[in-house]
Amino acid sequence: MITTYLFYFLSFLAIMFGLMVVLSKNPIHSVLYLVLCFFTIAGHYVLLNAQFLAVVHVIVYSGAIMVLFLFVIMLLNLNKETEPHKSIWLKASAAVAAGSLLLVMVASLKGASTIQSVNTFNPNIGLIENLGTTLFKDFLLPFEVSSILLLAAMVGAVMLGKKSIK
Amino acid sequence: MTLGYVIYKLILAVIVFTVTLLIAMYSTYAERKVAGFLQDRLGPNRAGWFGILQPVADAVKLFMKEEMIPSVSNKTLFIIAPGLSLLTACMTGVVIPWGTSLTIFGTSYSLQVTDLNIGILYLFGVVSIGVYGIMIGGWASNNKYSLLGAMRASSQMISYEVAMGISIIALIMTTGTLSVGQIAAQQHGWHWNILVQPLGCLIFIICAFAETNRAPFDLPECEQELVGGYHTEYSSMKMGFYLFAEYINMFVSSAVISTFYFGGYNMPFIGRFVHDGNLLAILGVVFLFAKIFFGIFFFMWVRWTIPRFRYDQLMNLGWKTLIPLSILNLVLTGAWMMRHEIISVFIK
């Protein structure tokens, strides 16, 4: 019962902060609202009993990526004078494109009540032991491939960051 | 979940919170006494007996001071930032096991507010969001020195979080659990983790210094270059909040280091002399606090002994020394844990 109320509360906050990200004039405020939005999503993970995912979400997104975002935006010193002016047609087409995406996503909810889940929901899947077993037994190859992908991205970042390659 | 359980957890949380604040308050006094001792001075000795009321006098002074808010700054964020700093500093205390458990009228009460099964990751998460208070404060001040201080703080914290995370992974590999309570319980007897992970412990302590912005890593508030760093524009109790958050961080870091590597509430051989469970639990709390106080003293000792790093030295130490060392530590730990399998491959 209390989880239902918490779900609605967190969803309300997540949507509100999501809107504030888009609507705030100041880019720093947008980033801070995005951080708050990530916290509410981490709350949703906790409601699904996926504490590991929740805390990793906070560490990686709020703790590392958003700090770097904030870092860059603070250094760029964006304000009204430096904001690039976009033509009215560009704005209109962006509004139409985003609006139709919203329409599609809302329309897909129409049949949501008839969807049957293929696998039964295991409430303990988010606990770290089960998650580790699943990752290293059932999904070992995708896991290793994604780690190689991350390693390649890391090497690429170091190469790009080097001032001169000799 | 009964009402009694809720009340007990609430009381425990309030006690932890109060003790944290009290120790942070007297850390400011201890810092000046230690500085005085190391520099052959007396330190504060006017307010009360041996200057014992000095923190109270300081608090009154900070509250009474005129409050300045720069007219060009972002007022909301400027006010929120010090509170955020203090909040994240106070959040870590809940997962630390302050002792085993007390048995009162046949009911066992654990001296840990909550034993999360992901306790270490929770600690790490709180540490990683701790930088927001400094960053937001530095930016909202609208002052170039504040902004530079905030930049330094965030880049320093991100750099040292990597090495800290990898040294924690090696610790998790040897202990096999993410619960802080279980890690403390496993170190019963002489099984302190520093004996298993000496290199990891050293890396963790260095990173803890960097994460708490203490000297020799106090570049975010480097006076000679940046006036006051991120709190240049802050006055009155708002600045007090920032300084207070630093002392709370120091206390919590000492508690985490003691729990992870120095046996937590365990003390070798005490089980031979004391057999009463409740007395053992209370003695455990005393031992843990003795270790924590030594940790705080160590923080101060280093501050008044070692000069500050230059910024490039800081980055070189973080990225070119600590991260390779922590990866080496991780590989060695893994190799040692798999030694039978590795040896059997070579023998065949």
pLDDT at A166 over 60: no
Last residue of a domain, one of A79, A112, A147: A79
Residue A42 lies in a domain: yes
Q: What would the two tokens of residue A10 be?
A: 């967190």
| Cβ contacts from A onto B, under 8 A | 63
Residue A7 in domain: yes
Give A119→chain B minimum CA distance, Å: 26
In a domain, A95, yes or no: no
Q: Is residue B233 part of a domain?
A: yes
Residue B52 vs residues A49, A91, B20, B49, B280: alpha-carbon distances, Å: 48, 65, 18, 6, 31
How many domains would you assign to chain A? Answer: 2
Q: Mind listing the pLDDT tens digit for each residue in B23-73?
A: 888 888 888 888 888 888 887 877 778 878 888 888 888 888 888 777 776
Q: Which domain holds residue B91?
A: 68-347
Residue A21 buriedness (CB in 10 A; 0-12 / 13-18 / 19+): middle
Facing residue for B139 by CB, picked from A58, A59, A74: A74
Res. A114 pLDDT band, cuts 50 70 90? confident
Q: What band does A81 get if pLDDT is binned at 50, 70 and 90?
A: low
Q: Do B129 and A68 count as a contact with CB atoms less than 8 A apart?
A: no
Residue B13: inside a domain: no
Cβ proximity of A42 and A57 under 8 Å? yes
| Residue B305 domain-assigned (yes or no) | yes
User: What is the separation of C-alpha A163 from the centre of its chain, rounded to a whole number of angstroms?
Assistant: 32
Range of the domain at A130: 125-166
Question: Residues of chain A with pLDDT > 90: what percent?
Answer: 20
Q: First and final CA of chain A: distance in angstroms? A: 64
| Closest to B170 in 3D by CA, of B322, B323, B329, B336 | B329
Task: Categorize the per-residue pLDDT at A88 as very low, low, confident or very high, splitting at 50, 70 and 90.
Answer: confident
Report how far Cα B177 is from the mean position of its chain's Cα atoms: 21
ipTM greater than 0.85: no
The answer to whether residue A101 sits within a structural domain is: no
Instruction: Give A117-123 contacts, CB < 8 A, sequence gap 24+.
Output: A123/A49
Asked whether residue B139 is domain-assigned, the answer is yes
Mean pLDDT computed over B86-114: 80
In a domain, A32, yes or no: yes
Residue B316 Cα, gap to closest chain A Cα (Å): 15
Q: Are residues A3 and A74 in the same domain?
A: yes
* A131 and A75 belong to one structural domain: no
Distance of CA B205 to the CA centre of its chain: 10
**Do the chains contact at B121 and A75, CB–CB below 8 Å?**
no
B154/A70 Cβ within 8 A: yes
Asked whether residue A130 is assigned to any structural domain, the reply reads: yes
The domain that contains A6 carries what CATH number? 1.20.120.1200
Task: Give how many domains chain B has, as a whole number.
Answer: 1
Residues A129 and A75 in one domain: no
Predicted confidence (pLDDT) per residue in B297-345, tens digit = 998 888 888 888 888 888 888 888 889 999 999 999 888 888 888 888 8
Say yes or no for a CB contact (<8 Å) between A58 and B154.
Answer: no
Tell me, yes or no, whether B193 lies in a domain: yes
Q: Is there a domain that residue B22 lies in?
A: no
pLDDT score for B307:
82
Of A51, A56, A71, the CB nearest to B154: A71
Q: Please report whether residue B219 resides in a domain.
A: yes
Same domain for A63 and A6? yes
Q: Which of A15, A40, A20, A41 is nearest to A30 (CA)?
A: A20
Q: Is residue A59 included in any domain, yes or no?
A: yes
| B1 falls within a domain | no
Q: Point out the domain boundary residue: A23, A53, A79.
A: A79
